[in-house]
């Protein structure tokens, strides 16, 4: 397996691939042509070395992934729109803030409200957090099941599968081709879906040390510890994605791999070609 790890994200009719210092978005337009947008990454960790340390790098990667993901989605959407739009700094900040607000409302505040009615009947903090974890995971599964029925999302899930297959193809060191990539799995341990599920499971373990706080304190503790949970989850995912990963790391990543059966679909050769074009663009820039 190559030393460098690459990853990406499915977008509208395309794939974004990311390396250590570059990203590329490849999109197939309605006329069949593939357009590619390449950019150099300007990460804060280049200027502040401590941000490359474990835990810190996970928090940086999370916020950077959100920004890059929004920009990639905007580029892909522009290929099918008459008017091209670019997100400025404030639009990026407001979009991320709204997204975080909705996520915290659904996956932190709402479960905490439900738990506040239950915890008076339970004495074990571990049991309370396990139930809260089950509520969060249930909400997440319901959300995925609902969006997976939308036709446009099904196409995105096919490109998600294409992204994973092409990464597997690259890591196998076989020549990159749609035919070679097709034989690989649509599941990958370093997937963002896997990361989100591990964040939820990690929170169950970490929040068990805080007993039975009041509703407001529970929400504040959950929000304030999110960076630590995200950082720890990132390190776990990073280890699980290695070829010689410890069995415990692989076991921790197993639920997320099964969850990817909902968020990925079998791609066509044309979709694999788009994902390959994206990865090849990144590899070329990073030579």
Q: Where are the domains of the chain?
A: 10-285
pLDDT reported for residue 237: 85
Question: Edge-to-edge, what's the strand order for the sheet holding 34-40?
Answer: 7-11, 14-18, 22-28, 34-40
Residue 161 has pLDDT above 90, yes or no: yes
pLDDT reported for residue 57: 84
Q: What is the dihedral angle through the alpha carbons of 80, 276, 195, 3, rounded to the nearest 10 degrees?
A: -150
Residue 183 has pLDDT above 90, yes or no: yes
**Which residues are CB-neighbours of 167 under 8 A, at least 6 positions away?**
6, 7, 8, 188, 190, 279
Distance CA 214, CA 32 (A): 57
Strands 7-11 and 34-40: unpaired
66-80, 204-218, 268-282: which has the highest mean pLDDT?
A: 268-282
- Cα–chain-centroid distance for residue 135? 20
Distance CA 242, CA 58 (A): 16
Helix (H) or strand (E) holding 28: strand 22-28
Strands 14-18 and 34-40: unpaired
41-45, 60-64, 115-119: which has the highest mean pLDDT?
A: 115-119
Confidence band for 85, pLDDT divided at 50, 70 and 90: low
Residues in the chain: 287
Residue 20 has pLDDT above 80, yes or no: yes
Confidence band for 114, pLDDT divided at 50, 70 and 90: very high
Residue 158: name the closest of 39, 252, 270 by CA: 270
């Amino acid at each position: 397996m190559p030393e460098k790890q690459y990853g990406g994200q499915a977008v509208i009719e395309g794939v974004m691939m990311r390396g250590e210092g570059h990203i590329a978005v490849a999109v197939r337009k309605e006329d069949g042509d593939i357009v590619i947008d390449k950019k150099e990454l300007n990460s804060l960790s280049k200027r502040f070395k401590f941000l490359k340390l474990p835990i810190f790098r996970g928090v940086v990667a999370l916020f950077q992934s959100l920004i890059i993901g929004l920009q990639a989605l905007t580029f892909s959407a522009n290929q099918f729109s008459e008017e091209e739009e670019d997100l400025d700094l404030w639009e990026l900040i407001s979009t991320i803030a709204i997204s975080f607000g909705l996520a915290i409302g659904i996956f932190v505040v709402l479960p905490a409200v439900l738990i506040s009615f239950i915890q008076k009947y339970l004495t074990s903090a571990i049991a309370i957090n396990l139930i809260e974890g089950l509520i969060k995971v249930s909400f997440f599964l319901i959300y995925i099941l609902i969006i997976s029925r939308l036709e446009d999302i099904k196409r995105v899930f096919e490109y998600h599968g294409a992204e994973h297959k092409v990464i597997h193809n690259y890591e196998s060191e076989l020549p990159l081709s749609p035919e070679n990539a097709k034989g690989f799995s649509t599941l990958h341990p370093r997937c963002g879906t896997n990361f989100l599920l591990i964040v939820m499971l990690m929170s169950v373990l970490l929040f068990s040390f805080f007993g039975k706080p009041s509703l407001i304190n529970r929400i504040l503790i959950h929000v304030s510890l999110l960076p630590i949970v995200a950082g720890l989850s990132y390190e776990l995912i990073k280890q699980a994605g290695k070829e010689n990963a410890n069995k415990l790391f692989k076991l921790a990543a197993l639920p997320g791999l099964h969850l990817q059966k909902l968020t990925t679909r079998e791609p066509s050769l044309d979709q694999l070609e788009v994902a390959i074009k994206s990865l090849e663009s990144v590899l070329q820039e990073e030579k």
